[in-house]
Chain A
Amino acid sequence: MRYLVINLFVITLLFTGCKKEKSTNDRILEIVKDSLKVEKPFNKILILQEHGCGTCNKKFADYIVDQKQNDSTLVILSLQNISGYINADEIKDVIIDRKQLFYKANVLNHSAVILMKKNEIDTILNFSDARVFNQNLEYLSER
């Protein structure tokens, strides 16, 4: 009986020990690749959301329209009320996510830019604070 209990304990430990928690980056990539079906590699992914800092989101929407979008930039409009923020027809590579998958999964709760390197997330620039919005935008322009 004692061995049975020990064995059960060891097996439980093995199973729980092997279970690897997904990181936030893994979960973001999972949404991009599996849920939104983005197959082509991109260097920058711009994600516009309606949650978080309202002023930042409005400014970020303007930036998305004004920027010279190149082939390596993808825009994801992850918001229910797209017409309230932006005209999606003005954007070249755009994915519409009205189900707000990033916010729903609690992995990104505001607008952000994902900078990619070799198909992995290198940096996440958060546009959640109006006070540093311009600094983040400058950094983004330099990349």
Chain B
Amino acid sequence: MSLSCQQDKRMKSIKTIVFETNNDIYREGFSDTEHSFLFYTTNGNNMLYKYYLNSDKRDTIDLAEKMKIKRLSRYNIFFNKEDYIVNYGHANVYNSVENVVYKLDSLSNYNGMEYTIALNNASSWKNNKLLLTNLFTCDLYGKGGDLTETFIACEQLNKQKPSYSILDFENSEVESSTITFKDIKPKTKDNSAEIWFKATAIYVKDVILYNNHFIDAVYEVDEAGSFKKAFSVKSKYTNFEEIEIFKSEDVPTVYDNAINYATQVNGILYDEYHNKILVVLVHGTKDIENNGEKKFTNRPFSILVYDTDYNFEKEYLFDHSKYDYHGVFVCKEGLIINANNKLGDAYEPQKLIYEIFSY
């Protein structure tokens, strides 16, 4: 990434928060509520630990006990106020408000789909409905034939399937999105497999905003399912590039390289305090051979600010290796950002370190 000589806009750091965990951290995050807190989970004992910001109060939740399961292994979790969602396995969603595990693969119209909340956030849960990113499986696997050809065929099929789902907790129903990858990238090629599954969907007022992370556009989807391009994601520091696979190397390597090095969005946030839409944009690495260590979270990123009419306002650069773009949350003061990046030079294991920024 070549940084411009023009003055970069920086958010103002107003407070640093540090908590010793004395535990290995599996998942961590923040919840913006009346008494806001940081949290982390372990996967040794399935405990969730809460550290309140403005008091000495601590709290714990035994996730496995709450969910009435023996052990949680791979899972994702996010909070909305004091309530939380846990997504585990390929189609299980726990809602703490209802205290129910929804097994989406038991629904009558289940079609083998996998769901994830990994790249969604508190704004993806509204009016008792949850937005889930669809991860498809493909019926063509395991039926013989050339594996690469099967993979290409599956990718082409998946690009034409709904990009996300809406889980309606009240009615125990899952509704598929109308928008597909093919809609937002009609010229998707037959011999390439752009990464269609890395995406974020959030509610902003009455609409859904959807972005595939490797595409420089955010789409607005209304209640009827009609969609249109809302705005382009543009940065003065980086450009989106086409990612093509099957030209060389194996598929996992190309995927790894795309996720580790390519320019990509890592999330959309809605800041209800400022009434702004925020895009977390990770800058791509040029000349990977010589800059191989500038990968994954060890890369600069920007926060792009848009008003709710989708007009671009500002770009704030974060180029210190201590910040982790996976941990960006809205708070009353502005943003609270993970300042203990695991790949950063100053990483301190077994600590929660966050900074609060105003903008």
Contacts and interface: CB of A to CB of B under 8 A. Distances in A.
A59 B342 CA distance: 24
B349 A104 contact: no
A81 B292 contact: no
Nearest to A50: B342
B293 A83 contact: no
B26 interface: yes
Given A98-B349, A104-B298, A104-B343, A81 B43 contact: yes
Nearest to B74: A54
A18 B215 CA distance: 44
A83 B23 contact: yes
B349 A83 contact: no
- List 3 A-B pairs, minimum CB-CB distance, nearest first: A106-B292, A83-B44, A98-B349
Given A104-B298, A104-B343, A81 B25 contact: yes
B26 A84 contact: yes
Contact of A80 (B24, B44, B256, B298): B24
A82 interface: yes
Given A80-B349, A83-B44, A100-B343, A106 B293 contact: yes
Nearest to A110: B256
Contacts of B42: 83-84
A37 interface: no
A99 B292 contact: no
A70 B42 CA distance: 31
A124 interface: no
B347 A82 contact: no
A82 B347 CA distance: 16
A84 B252 CA distance: 23
> How large, as a class, is the contact surface on chain B?
10 to 19
Interface of A: 53, 80-84, 98-100, 103-106, 109
Specify the main secondary structure of chain A where it touches its partner: loop
Interface string B244-281: 00000000100010000000000000000000000000
Interface string B206-231: 00000000000000000000000000
A103 B42 CA distance: 22
Interface string B21-49: 00111100000000000000011100000
A84 to B, nearest CB: 4
Given A98-B349, A100-B343, A84 B24 contact: yes
A118 to B, nearest CB: 28
Contacts of B295: 106
17 contacts: A80-B24, A81-B24, A81-B25, A81-B26, A81-B43, A83-B24, A83-B42, A84-B42, A84-B43, A98-B349, A100-B342, A104-B293, A104-B298, A105-B293, A106-B292, A106-B295, A109-B256
Nearest to A53: B252
A69 to B, nearest CB: 22
Contacts of B350: 98
B252 to A, nearest CB: 8
Contacts of B25: 80-81
A111 B23 CA distance: 23
Contacts of A99: 342, 347, 349
Given A83-B24, A83-B42, A84-B26, 16 more contacts: A80-B25, A82-B24, A83-B23, A84-B24, A84-B43, A84-B44, A98-B24, A98-B349, A98-B350, A99-B342, A99-B347, A100-B342, A104-B298, A104-B343, A105-B293, A109-B256
Contacts of A105: 293
Contacts of B23: 83
A80 B256 CA distance: 19
Contacts of A104: 293, 298, 343
